[in-house]
Amino acid sequence: MTREFELITHVLCPYVQRSVIVLSEKRIPYRRTDIDLANKPKWFQDISPLGKVPVLVVGKRQSLFESAVICEYLDEVTPGSLHPEDPLERADHRAWIEFGSGLLNGIAQLYSAPTQEEFDASRNRLRIRFGQLENRLGGGPYFSGENFQIIDAVYGPIFRYFDVFESVVDLGILENVEKVHMWRDRLRTRESVRKAVSLDYPDRLLAFVRGRGSYMSQLVACGN
């Protein structure tokens, strides 16, 4: 039976990008509906218990929330797999996917930090985390070698933040992490990753950061 998919999204959400990348990699047709998270429609609140995006509506039966769940479901119901076959390696990927979610939290702390002191503390924590990631990576070009997998879909949006931020601010976070840079460069050129956001995404993201009233808001305003 053919399934119909609708993905409920927000234009800036990195977790949405994960789902969009997997949909693209698996060549799954879907309909996308963007919402304003500051003014959530009633119907969205009915299908998203946590009030977050993405939400995947499957046919007329059910909605799924949480990007990790959505990505795994899409992988399971379509031919081929974007997960390793080996159970231990698959579990390792899931652990580093969670690590990636922690990086996203750290990035949010960075651009929301109200003072330079808190900004510097967030920046140092991210430096340490990317150093840990550097120690885990192998020879590339992707996380586990030649094949693009779900974990690569997770880190593409993370690196995109730095592509945008570093266009106006020298953050000095991704230093001395050669393998991270190689992975980042490969993901940047992947069609599914490139097309997971709109062309005006950089402008929207920088406008969002400028509006935060944070220490980084001042840096972005000066650099842009």
Q: Per-residue pLDDT tens for 181-201?
A: 999 999 999 999 999 999 999
From 29, 48, 76, the end of a domain falls on: 76
Q: Is the confidence at residue 2, as pLDDT, over 80?
A: no
Q: What's 98's domain CATH number? A: 1.20.1050.10
What's the rounded Cα separation, in Å, for the pair 65 and 87?
24
Looking at every residue in the chain, the average pLDDT score rounds to 95
Do 218 and 177 lie in one domain? The reply is yes
What's the rounded Cα separation, in Å, for the pair 25 and 48?
25
Do 207 and 126 lie in one domain? The reply is yes
Q: Is residue 92 part of a domain?
A: yes
What's the rounded Cα separation, in Å, for the pair 184 and 141?
9
Do 38 and 100 lie in one domain? The reply is no
Do 104 and 198 lie in one domain? The reply is yes
Q: Is the confidence at residue 41, as pLDDT, over 70?
A: yes
Do 100 and 172 lie in one domain? The reply is yes
CA distances, 204 to each of 13, 61, 83, 130, 164 (Å):
11, 34, 32, 25, 10
- With beta carbons less than 8 A apart as the criterion, state whether 71 and 100 touch: no
Do 118 and 198 lie in one domain? The reply is yes
What's the predicted TM-score (pTM) here?
0.96
Do 124 and 16 lie in one domain? The reply is no
- The residue segments making up the domain with residue 125 are 87-223
pLDDT at residue number 10 = 96
Do 186 and 95 lie in one domain? The reply is yes
* pLDDT band, very low/low/confident/very high, at 224 (cuts 50, 70, 90): low
Beta strand pairing status for 31-34 and 5-9? parallel
Do 184 and 115 lie in one domain? The reply is yes
Q: Is residue 82 part of a domain?
A: no
Q: What's 23's domain CATH number? A: 3.40.30.10
Tens of pLDDT, residues 116-158: 999 999 999 999 999 999 999 999 899 999 999 999 999 999 9
pLDDT at residue number 223 = 78
- With beta carbons less than 8 A apart as the criterion, state whether 30 and 79 touch: no
From 32, 56, 76, the end of a domain falls on: 76
Do 129 and 100 lie in one domain? The reply is yes
Residue 101 CB burial class (10 angstroms; 0-12, 13-18, ≥19)? middle
Q: Which residues of 46-64 are buried (b: 16+ CB within 10 A; e: fewer)?
A: eebeeebbbbbbbeeeebb
Do 137 and 212 lie in one domain? The reply is yes
Do 200 and 98 lie in one domain? The reply is yes
pLDDT at residue number 43 = 92
Q: Which residues neighbour 15 within 8 Å (Cβ) at sequence distance 6 or greater?
A: 52, 53, 54, 67, 104, 157
Q: Is residue 81 part of a domain?
A: no
Total number of domains in the chain? 2
**Percent of the chain residues topping a pLDDT of 90:** 94
Tens of pLDDT, residues 206-215: 999 999 999 9
